[in-house]
Structure 1
Amino acid sequence: MIRVGGIRVSLDTDLSDLEAICEKKLKIKRERLRSVRLAKKSVDARKKSDVHFLISLDIEANGEEKLLKTLKNASVYEKPVYNIPTVSDMKYRPVIVGFGPAGMFAALVLAMAGAKPIVLERGGDVDSRVKAVEEFQSGGKLDTECNVQFGEGGAGTFSDGKLTTGIKDRRIGWILEKLVEFGAPDEILYLAKPHIGTDKLRGAVKALRERVISLGGEVIFNARFCGFEAENGSVSAVRYIRGGKTETINTESVILATGHSARDVFELLYKENILLSQKSFSVGVRAEHLRTDIDKAMYGDFAGHKALKAADYKLAVHLPNGRTLYTFCMCPGGYVVAASSEEGRLAVNGMSCFARDAENSNSALLVNVGPEDYGSDHPLAGMYFQRELEEKAFMAGGSDYRAPAAVLRDFMEGRVSSSFGRVKPSYRPDVRFAAPEEYLPDFVCESLRLGITEMGKKIKGFDDGDTVLTGIESRSSSPVRINRGEDMQSLSLKGLYPCGEGAGYAGGIVSAAVDGMKCAETIIGKMCCDVQ
């Protein structure tokens, strides 16, 4: 099989007839072709007067050696193979704490190996989460155990469901294939910037859980991890609370995949002398523009073409004050959502459905912060810094989970907003006008003013005065790292596998899933043999 990349096609091209594209673009006659598969598709909008697709094709054909010599951007392609060996003679079942992307794929790999994992998830199943989140967004009470951060699927379940990642790993293709098997759209297998959308991701999460259970695994919801037991420097059991009762599970292997918002777990580990370290993260606001404005800025006259979805963007500017302002988790045609998980503290995030057809597009605008900003060398100082900002945001919003919001023109001129322009905030339950200075450090506000102006030079209208800034975006990544060694185990306790975003080793759905798989593979390897 060969892969041919960089094939330019118009937006009106019928991509269901790949053989015709091979004939027209690559001059390969149909009778030579045995199979053709769309391997990659991306939008090239560098010239607004000439927006088109770039595609890659996987081709099986007669005379491939000759095609390799005559075609541009052609190379031999072999699909990566991911094998999972079978385990037996287990003394104890492995336990996974957390059922976000890392925990889910760790559980799936272990279940497929026959290890019958037990999953402890502090929140509810995805249907219970939807009800709890909707109640909170409608003005009801915050459920601190079941919300946008906690519950089946993790924080990614209430996001855009992005599957882009900066890592290269043979496991990624397998992850995408499994998601399609569980109900995700086929297009994630070939889009350059794949996403599922929160609506379709929920179904895939449920199907994955059902597969784990069908293979002998167990998923226990509303089960909050509350400690572990150790013998001779190794894990011997874990404890959890469910329905007010403490339960114990004997085990030799615990994958700790609790996510970046399980602050009580960080405090528990610190008290148990598990080695932790400070980690840099970022804080800022969510910026909302009209989706049609962003589409026009990115696609020019091609905006609205039936072959194009809502436009996305990714920006970063280095500033004279030594900071960097960058966009993160951009949600085309999406919403700003209430992402609080603790009483008296407020956080926001972004979310899109698969169609990405909501009125606004939004993105986090983040400024890097690090140990030098925390004011302490305590391992949890970043977490405490994060909490302090969220408490200020809660008060700025009126102490009732309304989010503090500002209109960009007012923020740039240093005054509190009193009315919205063309862009209306999408955050629920509601917003309250407040200056970002009420909850963000001065250097962050300075960086926002400097950086948004620079971003406006890169994307026309990005610095439009009607842009809405809603805060606080503070959960982009973990402020703590749970230190582990090359064997994926905690440096302080054998059998404890810190994993995923919460442990400081991933940043997004796919990289977290990969990390979960690596931890599962290590456990399997201890049981039987190395994963090939």
Structure 2
Amino acid sequence: MLRLTDLQLPLDHPDAAIQAAILHRLGISEKELIRYTIFKRSSDARKKSAISFIYTLDLELGNEAEVMQRFKNDRHVAPTPDTSYHFVTQAPARLASRPVVIGFGPCGIFAALILAQMGFRPIVLERGKVVRERTKDTWGLWRKRELQPESNVQFGEGGAGTFSDGKLYSQVKDPRHYSRKVLHEFVKADAPPEILYINKPHIGTFRLVKMVELMRATIEELGGEFRFESKVEQLDLEDGKVCGVTLANGEHLASDHVVLAIGHSARDTFQMLYDSGVYMEAKPFSIGFRIEHPQSLIDRARFGPNAGNTLLGAADYKLVHHCTNGRAVYSFCMCPGGTVVAATSEPNRVVTNGMSQYSRNERNANSGIVVGITPADFPGNHPLAGVEFQRQWESRAFELGGGTYDAPGQLVGDFLANRPSTELGEVQPSYKPGVHLCNLDTALPDYAITAIREALPAFEKQIKGFSMRDAVLTGVETRTSSPVRIKRKDDDLQSINTVGLYPAGEGAGYAGGIMSAAIDGIRVAEAVALSMTGGSGQAKAG
């Protein structure tokens, strides 16, 4: 097959226009084109009055050799690369032991799935509940201010990604096309087939719930075993090697291959690992607020007269500003047509995050507006200092919000003028349980407040209306990524000082988002499989 790239068509083109454009571009007849598939479709909105789609297409031709010869010097025509997934090994008929996967978020899902598909029958331990029960508990906080510390936005089947926009794109290097494996497995689990080719695929929370259940069922059919509400209390070690884990109920599970796929909020597990001597270090992350605008404002700024076109959907944005105080402020986890959600996992703290459904048809757009920080900003010189730094500002947000899990909020105009907000304007905040208006001046460190105040007017230059008076800031956003990195070796992906422990995904500091976490889960599963079968050299860190 041949791959044809950068084929440009008008936004409102009919389906037949794709085939016509292929025939014209290659100078072939209709009978010579056996079939085509869309590999990727993106939009070009640089000229708002004439937005277009850009296609990458895979073609099966009757005269492939002749076409390749004619276009041998054309970089837009080339053989279609092999993006299919190839297993690195298969489990032996008899397993000496079974691998354990701790955590069933995106990383744990794909680590367990790949291990199961290779025949290793993993045991999956998840501290939270199955996804539907977990969803009820999460709504309990949003509607009734009732927090379940082991079953919430952060903990439970599906991980933190379940309550998000469900974005399925990443900027990680992917030379072995793991992302295609991820997308194909999601489609098998009832995700919309279009995620295979649209430029920025997403799924949304309601669809993710069903998909997670179907993927769990697949792993079980392949011999995997699940233990929900099974918190790991202790990593069992002998001479610096993993020999198993001990659960909160006292049960011991023996295993010499443990995948650590915990999320970025597993603070008590970080502490347990540190106390056990597992090497880790503090790492940078970001803190800030959620900002909400009318989605229609973002659509107009991005798409001009094409705003509201159903083919384009709700517009997103990506912004960054380098401040005079040396800080960088950027948009994070932008959720078009979404809501701001309560995302704490600890009592008497407030944390925000963003979420969208597949339709992205809510009134507001929201995004984190966050400031990069480094371990030099944390008090003390401890690997877990970033955790305490997060807790400090989450507790302050709880206090500013009135101590009821309401989030502190402020209108952008008042924030820029450093005066308390007393009433809402055009934008109605979506955060549940509710928003308590106040002055956010003390909700973050002074340098972060200063940086955000400088950045918002700078973002106005890119998106007209971004610093509108009635836009709402809601605090605080602290869980942008893990505050620690549990270091692993580059070759076999094991902990640098604990044999048999495989730190993976977002909690270990090696991913950020659904796709990168899933990819890391595949890499680590391959490393475990190769170790268990005596293989080597094919599961490298990306």
When the two structures are superposed, what TM-score results if normalisation uses the length of structure 2?
0.95
Q: Which moved more, 1:4-13 or 1:445-454?
A: 4-13
Q: Deviations over 1:143-176 (max 9, x none)?
A: 0000000011100000000011001322111110
Distance 1:419 1:32 in 2: 66
Cα displacement (A) at 1:67 = 3.3
The alignment status of 1:81 with 2:84, answered yes or no, reads yes
Query: Displacement, 1:26?
Result: 4.6
CA-CA distance at 1:43 after TM superposition: 1.4
Q: Read off the aligned partner of 1:322 and give its amino acid letter.
A: G
- Other-structure match for 2:356: 352
1:285 is the counterpart of 2:285: no
For residue 201 of structure 1, what is the aligned residue in structure 2?
Answer: 208
CA displacement, residues 406-457 of structure 1 (integer Å, 9 cap, x when unaligned): 1000000010101111111000010101222222111111111111111110
Structure 1 counterpart of 2:224, one-letter code = G
RMSD between aligned residues: 1.4
Give the corresponding residue for 2:181. Answer: 174
Give the C-alpha shift of residue 306 in structure 1. Answer: 2.8
Residue 3 of structure 1 corresponds to 3
C-alpha separation between the residues in 1 aligned to 2:307 and 2:224?
Answer: 47
* Alpha-carbon distance between aligned partners in 2 of 1:24 and 1:434, rounded to the nearest angstrom: 61
1:80 Cα shift? Answer: 2.1
User: Letter of the aligned partner of 1:77 in structure 2?
Assistant: T
Task: Give the structure 2 partner of residue 491 of structure 1.
Answer: 496
Structure 1: stretches of 5+ with no match in the other structure: none
Percent identity between the two aligned chains = 44
What is the identity, as a one-letter code, of the residue corresponding to 1:80? T
Q: Distance in 1 between matches of 2:293 and 2:511?
A: 29
Does the aligned pair in 2 maintain the 1:404–1:471 contact within 8 Å?
Answer: yes
Task: Answer whether contact 1:22 1:29 (CA < 8 A) is retained.
Answer: no
Partner of 1:500: 505
Once residues 284 and 443 of structure 1 are traced to their aligned partners in structure 2, the CA distance between those partners, rounded to angstroms, is: 11
Alpha-carbon separation, structure 1, partners of 2:30 and 2:22:
8
Describe the shift of the 1:356–1:420 C-alpha distance in structure 2 as closer, same or farther (beyond 3 A).
same
Q: Quick check: 1:90 aligned with 2:90?
A: no
> What corresponds to 2:155 in structure 1?
150
Shift in alpha-carbon separation, 1:458–1:139, aligned structure 2, 3 A: same
Tell me whether 1:405 sits opposite 2:448 in the alignment. Answer: no
Distance (Å, rounded) in 2 between the aligned partners of 1:8 and 1:479: 43
SS at match of 1:340: coil
Amino acid in the other structure paired with 2:167:
K
**CA–CA separation in structure 2 for the residues paired with 1:125 and 1:21:** 48
Distance 1:61 1:362, change over 3 A: same
Deviation at 1:18, TM superposition (A): 3.8
Provide the aligned length of Structure 1 versus Structure 2. Answer: 529
- Alignment partners' CA distance in 2, 1:434 and 1:76: 59
Task: State the distance in 2 between where 1:195 and 1:2 align.
Answer: 27
Aligned counterpart, 2:234: 227
Match of 2:521 among 495, 516, 519: 516
Distance in structure 2 (CA, Å) of the matches to 1:66 and 1:309: 40
Task: Provide the secondary structure at the position in 2 that maps to 1:188.
Answer: helix
Q: CA deviation at 1:466?
A: 1.2
Counterpart residue type for residue 521 of structure 2: G
Q: 1:441: which partner in 2?
A: 445
What are structure 2's unaligned runs of at least 5 residues?
A: none
Distance of 2:13 and 2:228 partners within structure 1: 47
- Which residue among 95, 111, 115 is the counterpart of 1:110? 115
Selected match of 1:265 from 259, 269, 280: 269
Deviations 1:39-58, CA, capped at 9 Å, x for gaps: 11111111112111111111
Tell me which residue corresponds to 1:183.
Answer: 190
Structure 1 residue corresponding to 2:136, chosen from 131, 145, 148: 131
Instruction: Provide the secondary structure at the position in 1 that maps to 2:48.
Output: coil
Preserved CA contact (<8 Å) 1:18 1:38: no
SS of the equivalent of 1:58 reads: strand
Of 422, 425, 430, the residue aligned with 1:421 is 425
Q: Could you tell me whether the CA contact under 8 Å between 1:393 and 1:438 is conserved in 2?
A: no
Q: How far apart are residue 27 of structure 1 and its match?
A: 4.0
